[in-house]
Amino acid sequence: MTTSREQSAAGHADLDEFVEVGAAEDFADGQMAGYEIGGERVLLARVDGRFYAIGGVCTHERANLDEGALCDNVVYCPLHYSAFDVRSGEVLGPPADRAAPTYAVRVEDGKVLVAVAPGGAPPGATESTQPEAGEGVREEALERALPWHARISAELDRMDWLRESADRMIAGLVPVRRRLVRTGLLDLLHGRWFGHALHPALSDLPIGLWISSLLLYLIGQPQPAAILGVAGVAAALATALTGVADWTVAEGHERRAGLMHGLLMTAALLVEAASSATYYFAGARTVAVVLSAVGLAVTVGAAFLGGHLVFGHGTMVNHTAWPPGPAQWFPTALETELDGAPGRTLAVPAGEKTVLLHRNRDGRISAIHNACSHAGAPLSLGQVCDGVVSCPWHESKFRLSDGGVVRGPAFSPQPVFEVRVRAGRIEVRSRE
Ligand code: FES
C-alpha cells in the first residue's frame, strides 16, 4: 500500500546532525513522506519495517518523489515515472540517470531521526540504533493474534534451512531455465498454450486418483486400488514438472512455501508408490491401506500450501484479471512525449491503472496494461525491442501492438486499451 504525506521537520533540529521527523509507530510499512531537512527535500520511506531516506526530488526534472508512488522498495516519480530504489537511491528506471543521495536514518526511543546532510548511510543500509521498547513483545502478541494458517506461513519464513535450500536450488535451476527458455517447453509447462497455469489444473489428477485408490482399498477392491495408486504416481510426476517450472520464477515467501509444498508432494508420491508396491509385490493389503492413507494425508498438507500460494499470494494467477481501467476516455500524455527514439514507451496513469503507451512502426499508438500479467511487474522498466516489451522481473515478453504473450512465464495477454488523440493529447479507455 502506498500513502504519501508531507511534513516539515524544520525547527526540530535538536540533535547535532539529525532531525526528528516523527514517531516510528505512525509510519506504516509501505508508507513514504517528504520533509524539508537542512534546506533540502528528503524522502523517508518504510520498507519491510526498516526506514530509508533519499533525496526527495527526482534527479530528472525536480518533481517531488513523495507525490509519486511507492511499490515495495521502488519509488516512481509522479512526472515521468523514473524509478529509484529507496534503499540505495539507485536509478532503476529512466528517464532519470543520476542516483538520488542517501541520508542516514536512526530510530531512537521510538522517534525517527534523519541526517541533515546526505551521504551518511552506506547504500542500502538503514540503521535502527535502538529497538523500540517492547517491540519484541508487541510482535509476539501480534503473531499470537494471527489465525493458524497465517502462523504456519510466518513459521515457513523463519526456517533458515528452507530459505537457504530454496535459494541454492533456484541458483542451480536458473541456468537450466535459460537453456530451455527458447525451446517452448517452459511455455508449455507454465500453461501459455492453454491460457492459464497448468500446474493447479493438473494437481487435481493425483489427488483424485489417490482418494479413489484409498476408497477402493477400503471397500475391498485392492487390485484396482493399487492400479489407481500407480496412476496417481504417474500423474504426480507430470504435475511436478509443471510445478518446478513455475517455481523457478518464484521469489521470497512464494519460493520458500513452494519448496515446502514440493517436498511434501515428493514425500506423498514416495509413500503412495510404496503403498502400491507393497500390495503388488508382497500382497500386504493392510500395510498398503495404511500407506495409502498416510500418503493422502501428506497430500492434503501439500495441497493446503498450494492453495495458500495461489489464493493467498496470487502465484501464477493473471494479475490483470480485474477491471483494467477507465470506461470513459481518459486524458494521458501529450502525443509529442512519444517522439524520439524508436521503442520509446511511456507509463501513464489512467484512472486507477497505469497504461504503457507505445508508437508502433506504422505510427499507430498502442496502449497496454503496464502491470505484467504474470506477477505485476511494471513493464515500463523493461526493455523494448522490435515492438516487444520484456518484463523486468522474469522476462515474459509481450507484443506492444496487441498485448499478446510472446514468451512466458506469463500465460495471459496484457489487456489492450483503445487509443485516440484529441488536441495533441493521447486518450485511452478500456476495451469492452
Ligand atoms: S512479473 Fe514475472 S514475467 Fe513479468
CB burial readout 17-34, b (16+ within 10 A) else e = ebbbbbebeebeeebbbb
Least confident of 8-12, 261-265, 419-423: 8-12
| pLDDT at residue 139 is higher than 70 | no
- In this prediction, residue 11 carries a pLDDT of 38
Q: Cβ(410) to ligand 1 under 6 A? A: yes
Residue 306 pLDDT grade (very low, low, confident, very high; cuts 50, 70, 90): very high
Residues 120 and 243 in one domain: no
**How many domains are there within the chain?**
3
Q: Cβ(391) to ligand 1 under 6 A? A: yes
Q: 410: Cβ–Cβ under 8 A, 6 or more apart, which residues?
A: 190, 192, 372, 373, 374, 391, 396, 398
The percent of residues in the chain predicted with pLDDT above 90, rounded, is 35
Residues 115 and 9 in one domain: yes
Q: Is residue 336 part of a domain?
A: yes
* Residue 136 · residue 41 · CB < 8 Å: no
**Sign of the C-alpha dihedral computed for residues 73, 78, 79 and 80 taken in this order:** positive
| pLDDT at residue 292 is higher than 70 | yes
Q: Cβ(372) to ligand 1 under 6 A? A: yes
Tell me the mean pLDDT in the region 407-430: 90
Tell me the mean pLDDT in the region 150-164: 87
CA gap 71, 83 in Å, rounded? 10
- In this prediction, residue 299 carries a pLDDT of 96
Domain CATH number, residue 405? 2.102.10.10
Q: Is residue 9 part of a domain?
A: yes
Residue 235 pLDDT grade (very low, low, confident, very high; cuts 50, 70, 90): very high
| pLDDT at residue 214 is higher than 90 | yes
Residues 307 and 204 in one domain: yes
Cα–ligand 1 centroid distance for 381 (angstroms): 11
Q: Cell for 340?
A: 524520439
Cα–ligand 1 centroid distance for 59 (angstroms): 27
CA gap 171, 371 in Å, rounded? 26
Q: Cβ(65) to ligand 1 under 6 A? A: no
Q: Is 16 buried (19+), middle (13-18) or exposed (0-12) by CB count in 10 A? A: exposed
Q: Cβ(396) to ligand 1 under 6 A? A: yes
- In this prediction, residue 138 carries a pLDDT of 58
Residues 357 and 276 in one domain: no
Q: Cβ(192) to ligand 1 under 6 A? A: no
Residues 285 and 169 in one domain: yes
Q: Cβ(409) to ligand 1 under 6 A? A: yes
CA gap 253, 246 in Å, rounded? 14
* Residue 309 · residue 315 · CB < 8 Å: yes
Residues 110 and 59 in one domain: yes
Q: Of 270, 286, 313, at which residue does a domain stop?
A: 313
Tell me the mean pLDDT in the region 146-150: 78
Q: Is residue 348 part of a domain?
A: yes
pLDDT tens by residue, 86-121: 998 888 877 777 889 898 898 888 889 998 888 755
Q: Cell for 194?
A: 492453454
Q: Cβ(398) to ligand 1 under 6 A? A: no
Residue 8 pLDDT grade (very low, low, confident, very high; cuts 50, 70, 90): very low
CA gap 237, 233 in Å, rounded? 6
Q: Cell for 329?
A: 476516455
Cα–ligand 1 centroid distance for 201 (angstroms): 21
Residue 124 pLDDT grade (very low, low, confident, very high; cuts 50, 70, 90): very low
379 CA closest ligand 1 atom index = 4
Residues 18 and 84 in one domain: yes
Query: Across all residues in the chain, what is the average pLDDT?
Result: 84
Residues 131 and 271 in one domain: no
Residue 14 pLDDT grade (very low, low, confident, very high; cuts 50, 70, 90): very low
Q: Cβ(102) to ligand 1 under 6 A? A: no
Q: How far is CA 92 from CA 29, 307, 343, 393, in A?
A: 21, 33, 18, 12
Q: Is residue 320 part of a domain?
A: no
| pLDDT at residue 204 is higher than 50 | yes
| pLDDT at residue 426 is higher than 70 | yes
377 CA closest ligand 1 atom index = 1
Q: Is residue 147 part of a domain?
A: no
392 CA closest ligand 1 atom index = 4
375 CA closest ligand 1 atom index = 1
| pLDDT at residue 53 is higher than 90 | yes
Residues 216 and 282 in one domain: yes
Q: Cβ(392) to ligand 1 under 6 A? A: no
- In this prediction, residue 385 carries a pLDDT of 84
Residues 307 and 342 in one domain: no
Q: Is residue 141 part of a domain?
A: no
Range of the domain at 24: 3-136
Residues 45 and 99 in one domain: yes
Q: Cβ(375) to ligand 1 under 6 A? A: yes
Residue with cell 511494471: 378
Q: Cβ(393) to ligand 1 under 6 A? A: yes
Q: Cβ(377) to ligand 1 under 6 A? A: yes
**Sign of the C-alpha dihedral computed for residues 366, 72, 250 and 147 taken in this order:** negative
The percent of residues in the chain predicted with pLDDT above 70, rounded, is 88
Nearest-CA residue for ligand 1 atom 2 is 394
Residues 299 and 214 in one domain: yes
Cα–ligand 1 centroid distance for 274 (angstroms): 39
- In this prediction, residue 228 carries a pLDDT of 95
Q: Cβ(243) to ligand 1 under 6 A? A: no
- In this prediction, residue 13 carries a pLDDT of 40
Q: How far is CA 95 from CA 58, 66, 286, 349, 383, in A?
A: 10, 18, 69, 17, 13
Q: Of the residues 317, 388, 391, which should be mutated to test ligand 1's pocket, given the most ligand atoms within 8 Å of the CB?
A: 391
Cα–ligand 1 centroid distance for 177 (angstroms): 15
pLDDT tens by residue, 251-290: 888 899 999 999 999 999 999 999 999 998 888 889 999 9
Q: Is residue 156 part of a domain?
A: no
Cα–ligand 1 centroid distance for 18 (angstroms): 40
CA gap 156, 142 in Å, rounded? 17
pLDDT tens by residue, 385-404: 888 999 988 889 999 888 89
Other Cβ atoms less than 10 A from the Cβ of 316: the count is 28
Cα–ligand 1 centroid distance for 301 (angstroms): 28
Q: Cβ(295) to ligand 1 under 6 A? A: no
Tell me the mean pLDDT in the region 327-352: 82
